[in-house]
Each structure stands twice: as structure tokens, then as C-alpha cells.
Amino acid sequence: VKVAESGGGLVQAGESLRLSCTAAGRLFSTNAVDWHRQAPGNQRELVAGISADGSSNYVDSVKGRFTLTTDIAKNTAYLQMNSLKAENTAVYYCHRRTGDEGLVRYLEVWGQGTQVTVSS
């Protein structure tokens, strides 16, 4: 299984971007996907995720501005980012797990990352 991100770029504060994470290869019945980011000098942090049961979660700083959705038919997850701020500048990584029910056993894969730069 591999994932590839796209959609990053340079935008001004207040603008929007939509990141995509498309999975290729053998996927199992249950899947979960997360978006993480890493800014220079910082540790990688979880931004948003959809768990195996379909519930979503977001870091407080992006609630109300970022939305994570999935298109099962396209094996793609999207992170819609609105009202971007300079502090959202980072490399954004897609992380996907695919496995059995409840993800008791699973494969996991990380994307190569896509740069998001927000100018103030």
C-alpha cells in the first residue's frame, strides 16, 4: 500500500487549500486516515483524523477551519483547510492504516509530505 499527497502550495493568510491523499495497492476492509504536520524546528503533530469507526477528530487550533473527508470509491482522503494562518505553515503528511475489523491487525503507511506555506 502506498499513499500520495497533493494540493500543497503557497497562499496568503485567509485563503484556502485542499490537500488530497490517495491510496494505491491492496486495501483491507477497515481503514483509518490521519493528517499530520511538521513545521521547521517542531515535532510532527496530529492535525486531523478519521478513525476506523468513522469518527473524526481535530487538533483544537484547526477546529472550525479544517475538514477531513473521505471518498471511499476513489480511496482518497481530503483535508479542506480554510482561513489559513501563517502558523499553519508546515509539511503535511498523510498517514493511513488498513486492516481487519477494528484494526486489530493492520498495515500502515506514510506519504512523502506536501508543503503548505501561508504568507501573512
The CA R_g of the chain, rounded to the nearest whole Å, is 14
Helix (H) or strand (E) holding 115: strand 114-119
What percent of the chain clears pLDDT 90, i.e. is strictly above it? Answer: 88
pLDDT tens for the chain, 120 residues long, are: 899 999 999 999 999 999 999 999 888 888 999 999 999 999 999 999 999 898 999 999 999 999 999 998 999 999 999 999 999 999 999 999 999 998 999 999 999 999 999 999
